[in-house]
Amino acid sequence: MVKKILVALAGNPNVGKSTLFNALTGLHQYTANWPGKTVERKEGIVKYKGYELKLVDLPGTYSLTAFSLEEVLARRFIVDEKPDVVIHVANATTLEKDLYLTLQLLELTDKVVLALNMIDVAESKGIKINSTKLSKILGIPVVKISAYRKTGLDKLLDIVIALAEGRIKTSPLQISYGPEIEALIGRISSSLKEYDLHGYTPRWVAIKLLEGDQEILDLLKGFPNGTDLLKLLAPSISTYISKKRVRYEPLCPGCPSRQKVKQGEPICMLIAAKRRTIINNIIKLTVSGLKAESISDTLDKYILHRVLGPITLFGIFAIAFAFVFTIGGLLSDYVSSGMDYITGLLSNYLVNRIPSLLHNFLINGILAALSTVLSFIPLIFVFFLVYSIMEDSGYLARGAVIMDRFMHTLGLHGKAFLSVIMAFGCNVPGIMATRALESERDRLIAMLINPLIPCSARLGVMAFIISLFFPGSIAVVVMLSLILLSLSLVAIIGSLLNKLLRGERGRELIIELPEYRIPSPRNVILLTWTRVRDFLERAGTIIVLGSIFIWFLYTFPTGNFETSYGALFGRLLEPIAKAMGLDWRAITSLVFGILAKEQVLAAMSIIYGPDLSTILRSSWSPLQAITFLVIFMIYEPCIATIAITKRESGSWLWTLFSLSYTISLSILIGLIVYNVGSLL
């Protein structure tokens, strides 16, 4: 009988947690979302000395006090699923920062082992850590490891097993927050005794309340007499201690000058400062070695430079974009033509051997759908390759800093910049790139506005139709105006969603800039591979089913496109189309375009006739053409985007919202453009 052990990996972002996860699990890993959430959940299996360890990679967090969803997920996992052992992965070069999480983990569970990762890097910098002493002070095992070089991993696993089996006893460091705060903690926790605290201890809940933790406040509000209880506790929670006045200088001449100064300090700050003071003392006792200016500091002087920074950023992104969409695009084309070839062969072989409806279903339904999914693989693969390299190397965080101010004009956070840039190539990687965002709410906003950014497929069709109606230089102006329109819509919808959506507001940027490092190829490939597989498994299914549905719409009941349900639907929409100066044929092509935007041209040549250019030129005025393009540009890009929105948001509701708001918006703007345009 194999003994199973459940292990959680906790740690700050940028400590090499995923490198350790990859080093331990290799290919035996899979990703999912945390139930109903947008946060990625990675799990893997390690077989070691007859044990089977199930590793769950908790979201990277700096603490266990709710700031965003990640902290809540991490601590709920520890409390609800009771892992046998929690490995806290810390970066040995930034131990002082990382120990903040250790102290909080020790308040929640005693089955913790501290893994000092990147010990090789720390030692090369002259940092010496006395792990025996550290272990004694913290009361838990401490292991020095290097996930990158794979050293110390066996020792870590041995300790994990020993901890799980109770062969190692821990005596976690208990923090005393000082007489004043301890008195408050005591008072609050005694009034919480008779409540069901969802597995948390009264002392822990009391501390979180004093820190102003939102999830815990909500938990208490949910109690039958929760509001009364909170009112009772309110004075303690909002207490400010050690009152003192301090004068502040105005920030600059003419600034809104002397800030009003609150008296004393909020309790959450005192608690944090207490923890920090303890950590500071621990560091003094266990860590020695001076740090000279690192290469990262020198590099940052150029990379974050006022002038050089944006130039470098532009260069790197031009290369990244070109790489993703030329190499990825080229490979995608190969896959498509390969699939076309196979489809052609199969079609010829089957044409007289099976009933024509079945033939149609196989060729135009199933194989076409598979071809769509497969042709996405190279694109997704190259995108994640680039994304992982940027993330792993530490550049992604710098990009966010440089783009922060600009992104705020779009109503977005600095970290959303990659998502916006990628969306011009394809919305699928664009939406995937929102993973860089910490707050679930910000991520949702970035995901919802993403379809408004015209992807290369749309830009291609737009360029074709524009060229039919406008000569050279005017065509460029029309194209640029349309792109400007879509970016304005991004800004408007972005700030609207920012106002309307509840949850923590898009905060100002506060991010850690990790050391630059050369990405580990193994890490990058593994990360890319699990993400591509995940895309195939989950988004792929939706794309195939959706494509078959569209095929059905445009084949049944007669087998003829023009008399199909789809065309019927287009005719139903004729009144709306008329109001925008268009007819059922245009609308039907647009509905068909949900399959993939470049398919619109194919659909149009079926509906309008093979000589599309001449027919369009004679039947549309330039205004009608522009109206058509505006609608075409704004409504939901394609099934793949719908699928990836579902995959990343974890919610059908938001996926439907994305679909319906872009369609309504396209109709609205279409109406405005046509009717205002007619007046001119």
Partner 1 sequence: MYADDGVTPISLIALNPGEEGQVVYIHGGWGILRRLAELGIYPGAIVRMENKSWGPVVVSVAGVRIAIGRGVASRIYVRPLRRR
Give me the long-range contacts of 331-335 (CB less than 8 A, separation at least 24): 331/378, 331/379, 331/382, 332/375, 332/376, 332/377, 332/378, 332/379, 333/375, 334/378, 335/371, 335/374, 335/375, 335/377, 335/378
Minimum distance from residue 101 beta carbon to partner 1 (Å): 8
Which one, 96 or 123, has the nearer CB to partner 1?
Answer: 96
Residue ranges in 140-266 assigned as alpha helix (H):
153-164, 179-191, 202-210, 214-221, 226-237
Which one, 233 or 455, has the nearer CB to partner 1?
Answer: 233
Helix (H, G, I), strand (E, B) or coil at 321: helix
Which residue in this structure is represented by tokens 């879509």?
486
Which one, 4 or 258, has the nearer CB to partner 1?
Answer: 258
Which one, 306 or 499, has the nearer CB to partner 1?
Answer: 306
Minimum distance from residue 68 beta carbon to partner 1 (Å): 9
Minimum distance from residue 140 beta carbon to partner 1 (Å): 20
Which residue in this structure is represented by tokens 């099976």?
354
Which one, 129 or 385, has the nearer CB to partner 1?
Answer: 129
Yes or no: say if 379 and 640 are a contact pair by the CB < 8 Å rule: no
503: Cα separation from own chain's centroid: 16
Which one, 93 or 332, has the nearer CB to partner 1?
Answer: 93
Minimum distance from residue 221 beta carbon to partner 1 (Å): 17
Which one, 14 or 343, has the nearer CB to partner 1?
Answer: 14
Single-letter residue type at 521 = P
Minimum distance from residue 453 beta carbon to partner 1 (Å): 22
Give the relative orientation of helices 267-286 and 95-108 as an angle to the nearest 10 degrees: 120
- By the 10 Å C-beta count (0-12 exposed, 13-18 middle, 19+ buried), 196 is classed as exposed
Which one, 62 or 464, has the nearer CB to partner 1?
Answer: 62
b/e sequence 468-497, b meaning 16+ C-beta within 10 Å: ebbeeeebeebbeebbebbbebbbebbbeb
Question: Bridge partners of 87?
Answer: 9, 113
291 φ/ψ sector (left φ>0, alpha ψ -120 to 50, else beta): beta
- Least Cα distance to 626 among 566, 671, 569, 572 occurs for 671
Backbone angles phi, psi at 129, to 5 degrees: -120, 125
Minimum distance from residue 48 beta carbon to partner 1 (Å): 33
Distance between CA atoms of 527 and 384, rounded to whole angstroms? 8
Which one, 194 or 249, has the nearer CB to partner 1?
Answer: 249
Minimum distance from residue 65 beta carbon to partner 1 (Å): 6
Yes or no: say if 243 and 267 are a contact pair by the CB < 8 Å rule: no
Minimum distance from residue 160 beta carbon to partner 1 (Å): 26
Which one, 63 or 530, has the nearer CB to partner 1?
Answer: 63
Distance between CA atoms of 241 and 273, rounded to whole angstroms? 13
Minimum distance from residue 635 beta carbon to partner 1 (Å): 34
Which one, 270 or 612, has the nearer CB to partner 1?
Answer: 270
Minimum distance from residue 413 beta carbon to partner 1 (Å): 10
Which one, 70 or 636, has the nearer CB to partner 1?
Answer: 70
Yes or no: say if 159 and 141 are a contact pair by the CB < 8 Å rule: yes
Minimum distance from residue 283 beta carbon to partner 1 (Å): 8
Helix (H, G, I), strand (E, B) or coil at 404: helix
Distance between CA atoms of 552 and 544, rounded to whole angstroms? 12
Yes or no: say if 70 and 61 are a contact pair by the CB < 8 Å rule: yes
Which one, 111 or 275, has the nearer CB to partner 1?
Answer: 275
Minimum distance from residue 94 beta carbon to partner 1 (Å): 5
Single-letter residue type at 421 = I
Strand residue runs (E) in 51-178: 51-57, 85-91, 112-117, 128-129, 142-144
Distance between CA atoms of 300 and 307, rounded to whole angstroms? 13
Query: Beta-carbon neighbour count of residue 365 at 10 Å?
Result: 19
Minimum distance from residue 306 beta carbon to partner 1 (Å): 4
Name the residues that contact partner 1, by CB under 8 A. Answer: 62-63, 65, 67, 93-94, 96-97, 100-101, 211-212, 242, 244, 246-249, 251, 259, 261-262, 265-266, 268-270, 272-273, 275-277, 280, 283, 291, 296-297, 300-301, 304-306, 309, 397, 400-402, 404-405, 414, 504, 507-513
Minimum distance from residue 273 beta carbon to partner 1 (Å): 5
Distance between CA atoms of 119 and 128, rounded to whole angstroms? 9
Which one, 96 or 110, has the nearer CB to partner 1?
Answer: 96
Distance between CA atoms of 467 and 474, rounded to whole angstroms? 9
Which one, 169 or 245, has the nearer CB to partner 1?
Answer: 245
What lies within 8 Å, CB to CB, of 614 at 6+ separation is none
Minimum distance from residue 459 beta carbon to partner 1 (Å): 29
**Host H or E run for residue 558:** none
Which residue in this structure is represented by tokens 């084309």?
333
Distance between CA atoms of 435 and 44, rounded to whole angstroms? 20
